Amino acid sequence: MSRVPHLGAAALMALAWLAPALPAAADTILVSNEKGNSITVLDGASLKVIKTVPVGQRPRGIVLSKDHNFLYICASDDDDINVLDLNTYTLKEPLPSGPDPETFALHPDGLHLYVSNEDDSLVSIVDIKQRQIISEIPVGVEPEGMGISPDGRWIVNTSETTSMAHFIDNETHKVVANVLVDSRPRHAEWTADGAQVWVSSEVGGTVAVIDGAKRTVIKKISFAVPGVPNESIQPVGIVITKDRKYAFVALGPANRVAVIDAQTFEVKRYLLVGQRVWNLAFNADESRLYTTNGISNDISVIDVPEQEVIKSVPVGEQPWGVVVRP
């Protein structure tokens, strides 16, 4: 009899000890599986899979609606945008996207999606309420990354084959500047203050930091991971903390996430994660970072303040995109 309370106290002590490493998080993690044709739903507190929802074919880019009630999903092989109701986990009427949508960004107004159409070298603007494409903007060959400035005025699209970041005026829908970056730019990420855009170049193996107003490259960040050949270092996803202290860059088949001082642009460390790490997402308070690992079919969980990987969780086949619903 006396052992029960003793074990209970020990368990409580163990839990107290573990608590800082695994803080409670009342959010939901959503992962698109591009070969599994599904969305994996995980509980942010327990890090357990709570649901796998079949969706359209080859789901890649995903983004939350402004009210967090819907998930927009680029269903690349269906040539449309799936709309998943996150309260019922049912698919609603899809939105048009133009052909082969891969990635997109939601305007801060929550009413417009900006979609890269790889096959047609276009950026399509989708009016969510009207459920139609209201504008098509010609850009470089094989458009990919999409980023919208925090004030919604400037759109940055990257084109893989042209190796450029195209700055688009959102009032005129015209390209106003083309910034040359290294080969195969994949992702464009604005800083929260709108001062910079960071663009990853997958084949070039670098990240270009672009002045958002002058539209010139102010820094090119390179990577060197001990024991990893240079050709395996393929930067794709980027996230930057709101205070612009740190940036995290997914390095593809290098299986590492680079931690960068976003003030000095110095790479501080490399975190070992799953295989072919592709995209990244913070939770709401930026205490955790989640990565999709396309070859190992899992996500890695990073404790941001400690800058260490604390867990990996299996998801669907070829995880691609990730977002966190608060």
Partner 1 sequence: MIRFRKLRLVGLLAGAAIVATVADSSAADRMRFWNLTTVTIQELYLAPAGTTSWGPNQCKNDRDGTVDADERLTITGVTPGRYDVRLKDKKGRVCTVRNVEVVGGKPYAFSIADKDLTECQP
CB 155 within 8 A of CB 194: no
Element (H, E) at 9: helix 3-18
- Strand order across the 246-250 sheet: 238-240, 246-250, 256-261, 267-272
Distances (CA, A) of 230 to 200, 212, 219, 227, 235: 15, 29, 20, 9, 11
Element (H, E) at 160: none
Tell me how many helices (H) and strands (E) the chain has.
1, 28
Q: Does residue 308 interact with partner 1 by CB under 8 A?
A: no
Region 275-294 residues binding partner 1, contact defined as CB under 8 A = 276, 294
Of 98 and 252, CB closest to partner 1: 252
At its nearest, how many Å lie between partner 1 and the CB of residue 240? Answer: 24
Binding piece for partner 1, criterion CB under 8 A, among 9-17, 62-70, 146-154, 229-237:
229-237
CB 175 within 8 A of CB 190: no
**Among 295, 309, 311, 312, contact with partner 1 (rule: CB under 8 A):** 295
Handedness of CA 42, 299, 263, 214 (dihedral sign): negative
**Among 47, 55, 71, 142, contact with partner 1 (rule: CB under 8 A):** 142
At its nearest, how many Å lie between partner 1 and the CB of residue 146? Answer: 17
At its nearest, how many Å lie between partner 1 and the CB of residue 60? Answer: 9
Q: Does residue 225 interact with partner 1 by CB under 8 A?
A: no
At its nearest, how many Å lie between partner 1 and the CB of residue 142? Answer: 7
Region 81-140 residues binding partner 1, contact defined as CB under 8 A = none
At its nearest, how many Å lie between partner 1 and the CB of residue 202? Answer: 7
Q: Which structure tokens are listed for 296?
A: 């190992």
Region 177-196 residues binding partner 1, contact defined as CB under 8 A = 184
At its nearest, how many Å lie between partner 1 and the CB of residue 24? Answer: 35
Enter the DSSP assignment of 290.
E
- The strand pair at 38-43 and 49-54 is best described as antiparallel
Q: Give the x-and-dash track for 243-282 against partner 1 (CB under 8 A).
A: ---------xx----------------------x------
At its nearest, how many Å lie between partner 1 and the CB of residue 172? Answer: 28
Residue 8 backbone dihedrals phi, psi, to 5 degrees: -60, -45
**Among 28, 32, 82, 234, contact with partner 1 (rule: CB under 8 A):** 234
Ramachandran class of 44: left when φ > 0, alpha when ψ lies in -120 to 50, beta otherwise: alpha
Cα 52 from Cα 31, distance rounded (Å): 9
Q: Return the number of other C-beta atoms located less than 10 Å from residue 217's C-beta.
A: 18
Total chain residues near partner 1 (CB under 8 A): 20
**Among 52, 135, 178, 232, contact with partner 1 (rule: CB under 8 A):** 232
Q: Does residue 52 interact with partner 1 by CB under 8 A?
A: no
Amino acid at site 241: T
Q: Does residue 202 interact with partner 1 by CB under 8 A?
A: yes
CB 134 within 8 A of CB 122: no
Binding piece for partner 1, criterion CB under 8 A, among 46-54, 230-238, 285-293, 307-315:
230-238
Q: Using CB under 8 A as the criterion, which residues of the chain lie in contact with partner 1 when the complex forms?
A: 35, 57-58, 77, 141-142, 160-161, 184, 202-203, 231-232, 234, 252-253, 276, 294-295, 318
